[in-house]
Amino acid sequence: MVDPQRGHEVAYNRWYERDHIYAGCMVGPGWFAGRRWVATRALKDLRFPEAGPVAEPVGAGSYLATYWVHEPEMEEAEAWARTQVGELYAAGRGFPEREHVHTGQYLPDATSSAHEDGVPLELALDHNYRGLVSVMIEPADATKRDDAIAALHAGPVRELLAKGGVDQVSSWRMKPWPADHNVPMKMGNDGGTMDRIMQLCFLEGDPTESWQQIIDYAADVEKSGAGRVTFAAPFIPTEVGTDKYTDQLW
């Protein structure tokens, strides 16, 4: 999740879309799907809570890039990315006028769908989802992480999916950066404790139309005793090949 510096919105969008998404990610070993999302000012205004470990301030982070990596090749993909990014920057193909708000690697734990035969998680970035909500949850102090995930997917997640706004919810665990991780930019805030649960909620429609469902979901998470939401943020997909939304970020 990244912010371009003000005045560089169009240049950043074009650099990432026309160069970096491919040269810095998709041509690497194991990288098999990728999609970019954007949060306009109106979408940022929906985020909650006001303070947390992901975005500081809560409105930071205009663009979100999500990638799927073939898990058996993850170490190779990670090593390739470190070398590739360094070489791209050395060749003048970086973009210093940007700031990472939060960047991390996550491994999948659980996925629930609103439909018995819904979109597989592996296809979620290629499916034409019109909205994505990123949710970060810290498990309750007395709750083991695996127990929290099981409780969430058996209760609050199932209830959220039944309301019709969200099509699928996946829960993920943080994968620590390796000790020799070295890239030519700061990676942003840490996002919370190592026990955090990062969730991706994919929607067929505009997230603003069902945002009350996300607010209610956060309340249900806390009522369940499994944990508490530390970040909830809606995004919509970028329109590839255009500069749409670059004038709506602030």
- pLDDT tens for 48-96 read 999 999 999 999 999 999 999 999 999 999 999 989 999 999 999 999 9
Q: For the chain, what is the largest distance between any 2 Cα atoms, rounded to a whole number of angstroms?
A: 52
The rounded distance, in Å, linking the Cα atoms of 32 and 67 is 8
Going by pLDDT thresholds of 50, 70 and 90, the confidence category of residue 142 is confident
- pLDDT tens for 128-140 read 999 999 999 999 9
pLDDT exceeds cutoff 60 at 126: yes
Contact 197, 152 (CB under 8 A): yes
The rounded distance, in Å, linking the Cα atoms of 130 and 105 is 23
pLDDT exceeds cutoff 90 at 115: yes
The rounded distance, in Å, linking the Cα atoms of 192 and 227 is 13
pLDDT exceeds cutoff 60 at 184: no
